[in-house]
Structure 1
């Protein structure tokens, strides 16, 4: 059993306090004092920042882009550019107008509708050449379905905006036995973004009442409960405007704003909880001024918040290694929101706390004035864990490993057309094309080949297994030396067999040939994600460990904190496999299983989950280190950390789980996946990892958890959390 006696002053791992440390605020304490004594200046600066950047915020919906889901440098992206430059915009981003009629499409009444559709798309400046239906190619064998091709003149992001504008006027042509639907990749992303954005807004509205109730219960006063909203509003206003300005340098995915909103709210609540509770503890039962209480809060909780924010930022920065505009802009959007919320927490919040003083407890609930921000319930829970560490630790570990086991069979792929609502234009047009031209027609492959090799390439494509039809080669009209060959596969674009067909084509085609098309762009992106995921995970873990090592000055506890995050992440993905891949609970949650998890989930959700988990880890272990620095008693470190940070972790996790789980009731599948994966991860991480397993590990490792080799102490900066 681990001894709980305090080590002697010269024991390994102990550093003497710096002379004059007591009563001498550190850098964060000095920042807090400055903010508290210059509150008007701080308020004015934030008003200016939010006003200037917030002025651009209303443009965020129209400024952000809808595309960007591509693998930069891939063959498919190269083919799309060739098609746009040399083949009248007949690229994967072109818009297809599908006209289906009860009468043959040669009937004058149907021809009139087709002409009207051509006129509508021709009137859009983002459309290049408009190709009428061609018998034998874009007129179905039964003569009842025709496709008008509106070539892409603009980049993929602008073509998504063109789809936003065109799909409704085109649908309005339907009637009297004729249906008109726009489809194609640009329309798919338009419908996809619209459906998901609406679902996320709906979920956020549903989550607000629950969030407010939890905030009031957690903070214990109406005044204090409003502080996270202040941080969130300041951070969101500034980050939304920054995203608009960022679009002048690079396209930014509209999903960046959605994720930024979630993270700004989640971290604003986390940081405000930690700071406010510490501020209360610094004020109660001590003869300290408000400014001194702010200084102590910043030197302890403020330092932990800064390290937590840094961990979040470095975790998300690893996603930048994926060369895909959508992923990079989403990660960048979240990082911007986190940076603004972090800045507001470390400057604006201390100024507000100084101004409020004792008024922070206005309209307080009975338990709001517990001295020393210590929770008797979580202290008792810590004592229970201390007495029976193996039983509780083993139980938590078994549950986590059992839930993580299904990860072994996890499959990922890019989402199919079935993630769209049944009445979405892209899905209706997609279905009409399949019914009229065959299951593989919506995923027609485009083969860009040097003209001299075109006959050989066409012959190879015709004899490739998995190819149903090869259309005659089309030489570029501008004599660029390129020829385009359209190959219709036998399989649906979401069928895994298509990947083998594309691989066979790329292997057998003449040198210099490139294979692309909308379906192939998805395959190339999925391949890129599969390739980059281990690298991203490895870098996230390495950077997380390094930051914890700097913060805690102890390699063992830093390693334990990093490794523990993998358990909740693995368990969340194990649950995701059971639900979304195997379909268990699909009826209850209202979705149809695709047989796989969406391809971006492992890399992007892992970074998000790890960032949130490390947020809690820093709070818990920083509190434990503060107690250990003060007493050198491992029991006080573990039980004290539970008493002082357990309530914060529990309350913050409750808010996050409530927010994330509201997405599980959203209509489209991707928000459901996001809500379930993130919600389960936060729930398991807080309930089993941070409030059970990690404290148990501190109990079992004892003083060794806080030991630092002498050579490492000389390298690391001296970071302390104790405030004498």
Structure 2
């Protein structure tokens, strides 16, 4: 026990101060738990914008000078199957809609339907516009609050009333998303518990990951509520925090509990000593894994968009709480349980078994025939990754909203009545003196279907509404935005929802390579510090890219090309949502690095102890293969449940993350990476002398001596 590292000493302290640790976490859980139920109403649904872009500047001018008639404003569509706007019933419905809108303090100005602009030629469809008198996030909440009253305003007159526009779309999307997440959670928990019982072989042990998950969820939800009082936080932050709390809580508990059970058997039943040993080894790997996940996600903060930054923040908060609970609460509970951790065990479970005979045999098979297994795994990954070269991205279209929701119904009514581009008009703000020039340029553009007369506003500004000829989600509209910006006077600003989406797409396209590069470099540096072996650290990072590329290749086939769309139950957009490459890459890479740390830290432990490449590879699989397999099974089950219901983006998330974890665990961590350890042999652990002097001395083996071979030939540069 005298050779314990910092985490081993922390484990021993928690094991001997169980009451203090548990009371501390109860205070945290209760304090933040009281705030957790309020978090859903505190989070926002907007923030999908490029901070500092031209479109955001245009929106600010529209809100200031034109009564809030920007992309954040509300669009209410009234439609009569039989009558027209001239009928008394239709007029009563319009009046009721306008009264409802004016009664809300978040509405600045209400514009009645007008012939030639917001009343269809057949007179059966009319649009009422409401200006925004609140921030975009608050207008999404306003849309959510007003959906039902507005719908009721037309029911008495037999008029269909639908709230659409950007705020209406996000309100409906968030509502559908919350319902889908609840359904997915109900599906995932029983599956998760079943896999955990099989993995641990004991009901008591299987309950520990769920304990970590619940504590992490409650703490991160309460923290998000506090953060939301200072900044706008996307509702997606809570969704992702839930997923990562569940996934990482299970991963970390598996690794530590398995090691504790093995240490308990070798320590003669002494729980304090077993906890100290488990934390000195598995706890160290968990710490490096958690830091790696945080580093991967921190790169997303480079994207200048409130939604992205708040989502990354939400996940990082959940990781911090899960990591803290794993390093303090879990060892305290393990020390209290002692041998009782194996109570309610399955008949075939063997208490104290840490080394898996099945995975040892698998490691021996890979050692004997590395080329065949390695080539097969590599070929599958490359074939699946091949479609990624043709991957297209775009901001979410109206197809992400369920067909029966008001935002989609109203959107389609507007298209039918006024043209394909009518639901997403471009808004050009310019000085009044330049208004004529703006109109002339807009009318001359091939991508413009209609141009409204200039509307005078405050401060000498004019607004020109431009209707594109294509659907707002079409790439052609983005091209139209670029042409207009190039041809219009420098004083003109092009805004509107399509322009905001286009600007965010451009930012994402520019930042994605930067984010990927930062994640790769920081991931490599952290693995280098943890493993003290540059060759295998580089291999670990590069193999992560294979599974990630293969997952996006599969996503291209499903979500862009529409394969399996009818089976999964969605309407393909013809592209992947624009945030997927940067955000899902960071998430997938973080999870892949999680498994990489578990496997390679175990290999490093065996190498430090034996200096034998075969023992390093086979021993790593024997000790961590089952953990990686079980953790991946749980993650795949959780992620795929999110792909079974709800709007399209959660389905994309569930499919991409689920496929990535499946491929990473089955083909990379359990086949390709061990094969590369076999082929590299001693060179996998080569450490140049200059790096040896720079890097801290990190050991994953409890009390293991530094093997002489590390100071021998391989370390001579």
Name the TM-score class by shorter chain: over 0.9
Contact 2:342–2:351 (8 Å) recurs in 1: no
Partner of 2:101: 121
Q: Give, in whole Å, the separation in 2 of the partners of 1:467 and 1:410.
A: 28
Partner of 1:709: 688
Residue 531 (1) aligns with residue 510 (2): yes
Contact 1:100–1:180 (8 Å) recurs in 2: yes
Structure 1 position 25, deviation (Å)? 0.8
Q: Give, in whole Å, the separation in 2 of the partners of 1:255 and 1:139.
A: 36
Contact 2:394–2:577 (8 Å) recurs in 1: yes
Give secondary structure in 2 for the equivalent of 1:665: coil
Q: Give, in whole Å, the separation in 1 of the partners of 2:349 and 2:61.
A: 65
Contact 2:547–2:668 (8 Å) recurs in 1: yes
Contact 2:254–2:627 (8 Å) recurs in 1: yes
Partner of 1:178: 159
Residue 151 (1) aligns with residue 131 (2): yes
Aligned with 2:314 (options 333, 339, 344): 333
Q: Give, in whole Å, the separation in 2 of the partners of 1:108 and 1:282.
A: 81
Q: Give, in whole Å, the separation in 1 of the partners of 2:646 and 2:173.
A: 11
Contact 1:278–1:372 (8 Å) recurs in 2: no
Q: Give, in whole Å, the separation in 1 of the partners of 2:175 and 2:509.
A: 27
Aligned with 1:439 (options 420, 426, 431): 420
What root-mean-square deviation, in Å, do the aligned CA atoms of Structure 1 and Structure 2 show?
A: 1.1
Structure 1 position 29, deviation (Å)? 0.6
Give secondary structure in 1 for the equivalent of 2:154: coil
Give secondary structure in 1 for the equivalent of 2:413: helix
Structure 1 position 288, deviation (Å)? 6.0
Structure 1 position 287, deviation (Å)? 3.4
Partner of 1:474: 455
Residue 695 (1) aligns with residue 668 (2): no
Give secondary structure in 2 for the equivalent of 1:675: helix
Partner of 1:662: 641
Q: Give, in whole Å, the separation in 1 of the partners of 2:442 and 2:376.
A: 57
Q: Give, in whole Å, the separation in 2 of the partners of 1:281 and 1:287.
A: 11
Aligned with 1:70 (options 44, 49, 60): 49
Partner of 1:316: 297
Q: What is the TM-score with the length of structure 1 in the denominator?
A: 0.96
Quick one: structure 1 residues 109 and 372, their matched pair in 2 at CA, closer, same or farther if it must change by over 3 Å? closer
Contact 1:235–1:337 (8 Å) recurs in 2: yes
Q: Give, in whole Å, the separation in 2 of the partners of 1:668 and 1:92.
A: 22
Structure 1 position 97, deviation (Å)? 1.1
Matches within 5 A, 1:355-374: 355-369=336-350, 371=352, 373-374=354-355
Give secondary structure in 2 for the equivalent of 1:492: coil
Aligned with 1:675 (options 651, 654, 670): 654
Partner of 2:544: 565
Structure 1 position 370, deviation (Å)? 5.2
Contact 1:415–1:598 (8 Å) recurs in 2: yes
Q: Which moved further from structure 2: 543-552 or 136-145?
A: 136-145
Aligned with 2:519 (options 522, 526, 540): 540
Give secondary structure in 2 for the equivalent of 1:487: strand
Residue 97 (1) aligns with residue 76 (2): yes
Aligned with 1:228 (options 184, 202, 209): 209
Residue 607 (1) aligns with residue 586 (2): yes
Contact 1:275–1:297 (8 Å) recurs in 2: yes
Contact 2:45–2:140 (8 Å) recurs in 1: yes
Matches within 5 A, 1:448-463: 448-463=429-444
Structure 1 position 173, deviation (Å)? 2.6
1:266-315, CA deviations, whole angstroms, 9 ceiling, x for partnerless residues? 00000000000000111114436211111111110000000000000000
Residue 137 (1) aligns with residue 117 (2): yes
Contact 1:282–1:372 (8 Å) recurs in 2: no
Structure 1 position 195, deviation (Å)? 1.0
Q: What is the TM-score with the length of structure 2 in the denominator?
A: 0.97
Quick one: structure 1 residues 367 and 549, their matched pair in 2 at CA, closer, same or farther if it must change by over 3 Å? farther
1:150-191, CA deviations, whole angstroms, 9 ceiling, x for partnerless residues? 110000000000001101111123345421111110000001
Contact 2:269–2:338 (8 Å) recurs in 1: no
Aligned with 1:554 (options 527, 533, 536): 533
Matches within 5 A, 1:515-526: 515-526=494-505
Structure 1 position 481, deviation (Å)? 2.5
Residue 254 (1) aligns with residue 235 (2): yes
1:494-521, CA deviations, whole angstroms, 9 ceiling, x for partnerless residues? 1211111111100000011110101111
Q: Give, in whole Å, the separation in 2 of the partners of 1:149 and 1:687.
A: 54
Matches within 5 A, 1:588-667: 588-667=567-646
Give secondary structure in 1 for the equivalent of 2:643: helix
Q: Give, in whole Å, the separation in 1 of the partners of 2:348 and 2:384.
A: 36
- Runs of 4+ displaced beyond 4 Å: none
Q: Which moved further from structure 2: 242-251 or 166-175?
A: 166-175
Matches within 5 A, 1:341-360: 341-360=322-341
Contact 1:173–1:179 (8 Å) recurs in 2: no
Q: Give, in whole Å, the separation in 1 of the partners of 2:394 and 2:565.
A: 18
Q: Give, in whole Å, the separation in 2 of the partners of 1:487 and 1:141.
A: 18
Contact 2:267–2:274 (8 Å) recurs in 1: no
Structure 1 position 490, deviation (Å)? 0.9
Q: Give, in whole Å, the separation in 1 of the partners of 2:256 and 2:598.
A: 11
Structure 1 position 109, deviation (Å)? 1.8
Aligned with 2:389 (options 396, 400, 408): 408
5+ residue gaps, structure 2? 704-717
5+ residue gaps, structure 1? 1-21
Contact 1:131–1:150 (8 Å) recurs in 2: yes
Matches within 5 A, 1:158-173: 158-173=138-153
Give secondary structure in 1 for the equivalent of 2:328: helix
Give secondary structure in 1 for the equivalent of 2:83: coil
Contact 2:267–2:273 (8 Å) recurs in 1: no
Give secondary structure in 2 for the equivalent of 1:174: helix
Residue 274 (1) aligns with residue 284 (2): no
Contact 1:54–1:237 (8 Å) recurs in 2: yes
Partner of 2:14: 35
1:628-680, CA deviations, whole angstroms, 9 ceiling, x for partnerless residues? 10111111110000000000000000000011111222132112111111100
